[in-house]
Structure 1
């Protein structure tokens, strides 16, 4: 999946969850106000969490919440017992939020660039967003960046990982997901706790996405459920390719050296042409399915394109590694750690060699 999991009726690809890491919480390179804000937000989650066992015993707990939490605990046990993911207290507590999302991420790029404005933190390294526990603060930051002339996108996040620095809770913002999405997210975020490489989002997210997908396949099989229909993933992949094509066209435009008025006009024309290609693709391949229309018809800028492709780039490689490990999770994780230990340039070269050997195309995010 390219951008898992937000509003239930919106395709996974359009749900901009990006793992918020401990680096966000230890932002020494950030302003004091920002540090205070995120420290306060995280501390509130810690202070307000309740053990799931306590919530389940509480007679006032809503029946649907009870059902979702019971399922989450089954998935949590499966993650450790069957997927060899970390055995800790993450996702064994619950926090009821007073808002729809736990965090809002602010993405930004220069007006004529697809390169993100990076934010660098200890432990987590550099990431292409800044997270806020307050929607108002995220909006204020987006307005500040827009006033500087940057392209900006703000996306709500219903769940995130602190990479094991805290026992991450189940959040009320996760309760609106279906069974598969709830279980898969637990697998995804625990995978981040197991293996995480600074300054390599594509590696981290592709790895966690593979664990999520394979874990979900095994989870459904263990529950006697049929295999998932690949229709949605096929649509997600197709739409991602359309968006990535737009990003590549914009990248070429921005490198062309034309003056700013001409570039601004050509930028808008490229976006308009993308909308035309989308309608043609939708009507030819997916007639009657309009799930992406709202995204396509909404405001599009460089920043809104940033998250696409991060979750997919190397997933064929991790599938190949899993098969090479004969489906044994410990052996698979050992091979992933070998890649993780390599310097960035060597790791990219090794991953590309493996990808080429699979014969699968790469959904590669443009830098």
Structure 2
């Protein structure tokens, strides 16, 4: 994914590091089949942590490039805004910086059946079930993707610029700023940091849609406030262009997702469903080309997504945005008060999953 699309993928991959660090040794003793996966998670995160240096030290170092120094300073202003004005937790995260020397923090693997948008899930101790597997090594992610395709799944491998350890690894210094996203446009960097810190407020096992939609709502609300109150005209204009394309992209893919869901839920024979699916994806790609030509001035940032579009690609989008509008309405009903809003979100988190989702859907 290019810069404008990757923001939809924030948080992903290695939240299961939390469980891996605690349970990796136990799995070794018990012959756990996931031990290799846990091991790569532990190694990958520890490598990331070991690369990190305090931001204050880098800013004071004359050898630090001026452009990086400016971005690190911006990130610290954003972090302070998140605490002071969005009332997000004042943790140790994002006070250090790591140059990963690779294009992504991790690569996520997601999979869906041929005639469904329901993502395959993997379950792990401590963090519950999630609809992805995250890998620090691209080759390992591709190997898992090949295995899944051989089993008949539709698969997507995509880069993730950042992930959250949910405030559980503060003893390791929390989550650092990374070279994979620190250079993003100001509005995009703001949204990413606010999204990640929102996961420190509440996280529910086995409910990706709830967790990601909540964080997406916080990033939208917080990002808009930052741009309005603290950004310059150039940053606001840059963000407006990025966000306009993002909204059009989401509208286009949401319509396709809804149409596909109806096809898959129908009583048509499977061959008829396959034919309708092929027609819909062909139309989706044609609609993108028209949008790219007529409204985006040839902007190619979404080309890779449409080239690889499949059930898995549409399924993972739903996980990040399904309930975001409901959370935004809940924020308005809370009088724009973040403390009241977060208290309501925690109350929802305590409900059984079905009741939690029904309550969100019923918010006017």
- TM-score, normalised via structure 2 length: 0.85
The equivalent position to 1:126 in structure 2, one of 118, 125, 129, is 129
Give the count of matched residue pairs: 347
The equivalent position to 1:222 in structure 2, one of 229, 253, 270, is 229
| C-alpha distance 292-65 of structure 1, shift in aligned 2 (>3 A) | closer
The equivalent position to 1:321 in structure 2, one of 320, 324, 330, is 330
Distance 1:326 1:351 in 2: 17
Which residue does the alignment assign to 2:2? 7
CA contact (8 A) 2:292 2:300 kept: no
Which moves more between the two structures, 295-304 or 151-160? 295-304
Which residue does the alignment assign to 1:197? 204
Cα displacement (A) at 1:16: 3.3
Which residue does the alignment assign to 1:26? 19
Distance 1:266 1:203 in 2: 30
Distance 1:293 1:93 in 2: 31
Per-residue CA deviations over 1:110-162 (Å, capped at 9, x if unaligned) read: 22322211011233322111000001111111111112221111001111101
| C-alpha distance 297-50 of structure 1, shift in aligned 2 (>3 A) | closer
Per-residue CA deviations over 1:205-229 (Å, capped at 9, x if unaligned) read: 2211221122122223332646667
The equivalent position to 2:339 in structure 1, one of 330, 344, 348, is 330
* Unpaired stretches in structure 2, ≥5 consecutive residues: 24-31
Asked whether 1:250 is paired with 2:260, we answer yes
Cα displacement (A) at 1:90: 0.3
| C-alpha distance 163-51 of structure 1, shift in aligned 2 (>3 A) | same
More helix by share: 2
Give the CA RMSD over aligned residues: 2.6
Cα displacement (A) at 1:257: 6.2
| C-alpha distance 177-261 of structure 1, shift in aligned 2 (>3 A) | same
Asked whether 1:102 is paired with 2:101, we answer no
Cα displacement (A) at 1:259: 6.1
CA contact (8 A) 1:24 1:131 kept: no
| C-alpha distance 53-297 of structure 1, shift in aligned 2 (>3 A) | closer
Which residue does the alignment assign to 1:186? 193
* Unpaired stretches in structure 1, ≥5 consecutive residues: 1-5, 358-367
Which residue does the alignment assign to 1:58? 61
Asked whether 1:236 is paired with 2:229, we answer no
Which residue does the alignment assign to 2:29? none
Distance 2:109 2:82 in 1: 31
Report 1:28-107 matches (<5 A).
31-107=34-110
Report 1:305-316 matches (<5 A).
305-316=314-325
Distance 1:273 1:323 in 2: 37
Report 1:244-283 matches (<5 A).
244-256=254-266, 263-279=273-289
Distance 1:324 1:274 in 2: 36
The alignment partner of 2:316 has SS state of: coil
Cα displacement (A) at 1:264: 4.2
Cα displacement (A) at 1:235: 4.0
CA contact (8 A) 1:22 1:123 kept: no
CA contact (8 A) 2:88 2:197 kept: yes
- TM-score, normalised via structure 1 length: 0.85
Distance 1:156 1:12 in 2: 8
Distance 2:33 2:337 in 1: 42
Cα displacement (A) at 1:73: 0.9
CA contact (8 A) 1:275 1:296 kept: no
Distance 1:86 1:99 in 2: 29
